[in-house]
Amino acid sequence: MKIIAKIVCLLSIFFLSINSNAQGVNKRYPFVNTIFSAGLNAFENDSGYLMIGGVDSGIASIGIVQTDFEGNVLFQKTIMDTNLAYFAGFQGSLIKVSSGGYAMYGSVATSSWARDKLYRFNSVGDTLWTKTMGDTAFDQVGSQVKETLDGGFVCVGQNTQYSGQNWVVKTDSLGAIEWEQWYGSGVERPTAIALTPDSGYIFTGWTRSLGPGAPNNDNIRITKIDKQGNLQWNRVFGQTDDDNAWSINTTQDGGYIFGGSIRTVNTDSRTKHYAIRLDSQGDTIWTRAYNPPTLANSGLNGFRTIIELSDGNFIAAGQEVYTDSISFSRHDGLIMKLKPNGDILWNKTYRILGMNANGTDFEIKDIRPTNDGGFICGGVVYPSFPDTGTQDMWLMKIDSNGCVDTSNCVIVSSIESHTQLEEEQYTLKAYPNPFVYQLTIVVVLPQESTNAYLVIKDVAGKELCRTKLNSATNQYNIEGKQFSSGIYFYFIEDKEKIILPQKLIKME
């Protein structure tokens, strides 16, 4: 361990460019008289941003928030019943419909049964119609819906009629069931579904009936079916511990991209953010497990949503957990932008400024592109005391570089960015961030790296410290009093290339 205590270099070779078009939002949205709420879906629309998720005021309900483009609330609505509990499905359970408005797939329940429910909303969140599916003799839990090419819907959920199987339901445009099929045996929990180029469907979820560790551990299941629901192929991923499946989407080449988490028990027993790219036949193009910070081993690490962008890159969002002694149990929202081959373009964590206490946690559930080239995110704030004490919806708008506002829209422009070495061989994390009294920076290098440095600079590009990294794993404790309040930037410099440039915030 080494203490960074002084400025060692005053020569600035780092220039910053600011995206002047950024208009960020980073706000929490409590509902009146609720115990908690959670944003599961976020969209840009003509009025601003729409977010839908779960709320609870003693009974589970569905909450809708519409904001303007600055994040100011235009209206809030709640779908509730004093005798029934309503659930909003998983992230991605809300979709835009081609004829206007939205559709959502979730559940309705009593103390003795649960059934799936398909909702159809207009453009301002008013309910047009609902369809309840399933049988009260069994439990059904709705996960996600997509609009089909004929204007109908395909829904995926769990049905306990056959020991908790994957349940796919195809409906017409008014929610009438056209066909339904069950898949798997034993314990299954589907989470996401997508349309495929051949007019079929692909879904993913947890399985304990297939893969290593079954039936005692969760594995990742990816299943391809045709347009009538006939099984075409299964693919199973995982190791001999619990792995999580959250997102599946198609790619422009006719293949698929998956996001979730995996615990790499065959190597270091750490739960990591996990992405899989498949071709159209389900053959693996690549898999990537991305290292969490501070040797963290939390099952909450992982991607909740991953999608391909128009340029062929991917954007993934989720949560990152710290398990060190200083920031124990700190959870941050995470966004990664990935290249088509899975290499990291940038990797950033997010909180709401001023909410820095350990135990105040953040999770991004959903991320979608916006018309200005940025992204809108829906998620959850889990606050600690002193606070309102209520878990709230979290809405965040970022630009194309992952920046919330112009104060942190920083792009490296004078030193060549690192592009050749496998980025996942490096780890660079600072915590807590923002910091006040003490900052810890952890750096992990590939074995072949022999001339790397940790560099910290201010917003003007002035180099404040440059420290030689002498081992594969390095940890540095920095006293907060060495820094004035403000924004700083830190990165690894290896062979004159910048790796993992990130932002630091010093608070008073």
Of residues 155, 154, 222, the one with CA closest to residue 188: 222
Calpha distance 89→143 (Å, rounded) = 4
| Burial zone of 79 (CB within 10 Å; 0-12 exposed, 13-18 middle, 19+ buried) | buried
Can you give the pTM of this predicted structure? 0.77
- DSSP lists the bridge partners of residue 477 as 3, 440
Q: Where are the domains of the chain?
A: 2-11+423-506
Specify the pLDDT at position 243. 87
| Residue 434, number of CB atoms within 10 A of its CB | 18
Specify the pLDDT at position 162. 62
**Residue of 455 and 209 predicted with greater confidence:** 455
What tens digit of pLDDT does each residue of 85-125 get? 998 888 889 999 999 999 999 999 988 888 999 999 998 88
Of residues 80, 83, 66, the one with CA closest to residue 29: 66
Dihedral sign for Cα atoms in the order 266, 190, 315, 255: positive
Calpha distance 408→18 (Å, rounded) = 8
Of residues 220, 258, 263, the one with CA closest to residue 240: 263
Instruction: Retrieve residue 85's tokens.
Output: 């509990």
What tens digit of pLDDT does each residue of 326-375 get? 555 678 899 999 999 999 988 888 888 777 666 788 999 999 999 999 99
Q: In what order do the strands lie in the sheet with 219-225?
A: 188-195, 201-207, 219-225, 231-237
Calpha distance 236→382 (Å, rounded) = 33
Instruction: Give 139's contacts (C-beta < 8 A, 6+ positions apart).
Output: 113, 114, 158, 159, 160
Share of residues in the chain with pLDDT > 70 (%): 84
Q: In what order do the strands lie in the sheet with 25-29?
A: 25-29, 392-398, 375-382, 361-369
What tens digit of pLDDT does each residue of 185-203 get? 778 889 999 999 999 999 9
Range of weakest confidence among 268-282, 391-405, 449-463: 449-463
What tens digit of pLDDT does each residue of 214-239 get? 788 888 999 999 999 999 999 999 88
* Model confidence at 507: pLDDT above 70: yes
Specify the pLDDT at position 424. 57
Instruction: Retrieve residue 33's tokens.
Output: 């008289």
Calpha distance 334→349 (Å, rounded) = 4
Overall CATH class of domain 2-11+423-506: mainly beta
Which pairs with CB-CB distance under 8 Å and at least 24 residues apart come from 374-377? 374/22, 374/398, 374/399, 374/400, 375/315, 375/335, 375/400, 376/42, 376/43, 376/44, 376/49, 377/42, 377/317, 377/333, 377/335
Q: Number of H helices and number of E strands within the chain?
A: 0, 39
What tens digit of pLDDT does each residue of 293-318 get? 655 567 678 999 999 999 999 999 99
* Model confidence at 1: pLDDT above 90: no
Which three-class secondary structure state does DSSP give residue 406?
A: helix
**Residue of 375 and 503 predicted with greater confidence:** 375
What tens digit of pLDDT does each residue of 268-286 get? 677 889 999 999 999 999 9
What tens digit of pLDDT does each residue of 70-85 get? 999 999 999 888 889 9
* Model confidence at 5: pLDDT above 50: no
What tens digit of pLDDT does each residue of 119-172 get? 999 988 899 999 999 887 778 888 999 999 999 999 999 887 666 688 999 999
In one-letter notation, the amino acid at residue 78 is T
Specify the pLDDT at position 323. 57
Instruction: Retrieve residue 478's tokens.
Output: 């920095």
Residue the block writes with tokens 């006040």: 436
Range of weakest confidence among 51-60, 68-77, 244-253: 51-60
Q: What is the mean pLDDT of the chain?
A: 83
Specify the pLDDT at position 376. 96
The DSSP symbol for 275 reads E
The DSSP symbol for 391 reads B
Specify the pLDDT at position 17. 33
